[in-house]
Amino acid sequence: MKMQMYSEADVDTSCLSGKQVTILGYGSQGRAHALNLKDSGFDVVVGLRRDGASWAKAEADGLVVKEPSAAVKGAAIIALLTPDMVQKRLYETVVPDIDEGATLLFAHGFAVHFKLIEPRADLNTVLIAPKGPGGLVRRQYEEGHGVPCLVAIHQDATGDALKLALAYAAGIGGARAGVIETTFAEETETDLFGEQAVLCGGATELIVAGFETLVEAGYQPEVAYYEVMHELKLIVDLLHEGGLKKMHKFISDTAAWGDLISGPRVVDDSSRAAMKDILTDIQDGTFARNWIAENEAGMPEFKSKMQADLDHPIESVGADLRGRMDWLEG
Domains (ranges, CATH) in the chain?
5-182 (3.40.50.720), 192-322 (no CATH)
In the prediction, which pLDDT does 36 show?
Answer: 98
The strands making up 149-155's β-sheet, listed across from edge to edge, are 5-6, 179-181, 149-155, 124-130, 103-106, 75-80, 20-24, 43-47, 64-66
SS3 110: helix
CA torsion 282-82-150-202 (nearest 10°) is: -40
pLDDT confidence of residue 113: 98
* Separation in Å, CA 288 to CA 54, 118, 278: 28, 16, 12
Q: 74: phi > 0 → left, psi -120 to 50 → alpha, else beta; which?
A: left
Task: Say if CB 192 and CB 280 are below 8 A apart.
Answer: no
With CA atoms as reference, report the closest residue to 93 among 70, 114, 112, 115. Answer: 70
β-bridge mates for residue 20, sequence order: 43, 75
**Closest to 276 measured CA to CA, from 207, 178, 208, 196:** 196
Of 108, 113, 230, 312, which residue is the catalytic one? 108
CA pair distance 305, 300, nearest whole angstrom? 9
Using 70 as the pLDDT threshold, list the residues of the chain that sit under it. Answer: 1, 330
Tell me the CA distances in angstroms from 289 to 4, 26, 114, 227, one per residue in order.
32, 27, 9, 38
pTM: 0.94
- Asked if 154 is an active-site residue, the reply is no
Per-residue pLDDT, 330:
60
Q: How far apart are the C-alpha atoms of 192 and 84, rounded to whole Å? A: 12
pLDDT at site 1: 67
Please name the residue ranges forming H helices in the chain: 28-39, 54-60, 68-72, 84-94, 110-113, 134-142, 161-171, 174-177, 184-193, 201-216, 221-225, 232-250, 253-266, 269-283, 286-296, 300-310, 313-322
What pLDDT is recorded for position 327?
Answer: 83
Those residues with Cβ within 8 angstroms of residue 32's Cβ, 6 or more apart along the chain or in another chain: 130, 134, 135, 137, 138, 141, 172
* Cβ contact 25:106 at 8 Å: no
